[in-house]
Structure 1
């Protein structure tokens, strides 16, 4: 009878070791997935094609639109001034 109990006890120890190894593998797999997900989210938020870059580019686009409008107005004013000065020149110097 004691031999049967020893065999049963040994098989229980082996199954506990296998079970604990499987639990370890599960925790390792879950930890790996969490790390990979964190890296993915970090790349989305702060990478080359991230939300932060997109918002910065939108801000830069708005600034450039405002600069274009300002330069168009300045160009129109300078063209008006140029043509006014051109009309004031004597006829002999005109080409």
Structure 2
């Protein structure tokens, strides 16, 4: 009989979080808040406006480099043609 009364007293004095998780309600809520805040912070770091701006700037820079490469190849072909024409003229 004493054991049953003791269990009933323990059950009624503990909160749900203490019974199932072993944490007081304030500690449990604090832990939940910390986990949510950390999740939001990491989400902003990964998917925030800074990340998008950097991505767009890198894509723009990549397009610039590709067009610059194409322009330099064309310029190189022109200069090589001119070089070989001059070399042919000097050989004659």
Q: TM-score, normalised by structure 1?
A: 0.59
Structure 2 counterparts to residues 1-95 of structure 1, below 5 A = 18=13, 22=15, 25-46=24-45, 50-51=46-47, 52-90=50-88
Separation in 2, partners of 1:92, 1:73: 29
Separation in 2, partners of 1:80, 1:92: 18
Instruction: Give the SS at the match of 1:45.
Output: helix
Separation in 2, partners of 1:31, 1:64: 45
CA shift, 1:90, in A, is: 2.5
Separation in 2, partners of 1:55, 1:80: 38
CA shift, 1:25, in A, is: 2.0
* Greater Rg by CA: 1
- Structure 1 unmatched ranges of 5 or more: 1-13
CA deviation digits over 1:64-95, x for unaligned, max 9? Answer: 211110121122012111112212222796xx
- Structure 2 unmatched ranges of 5 or more: 1-8, 17-22
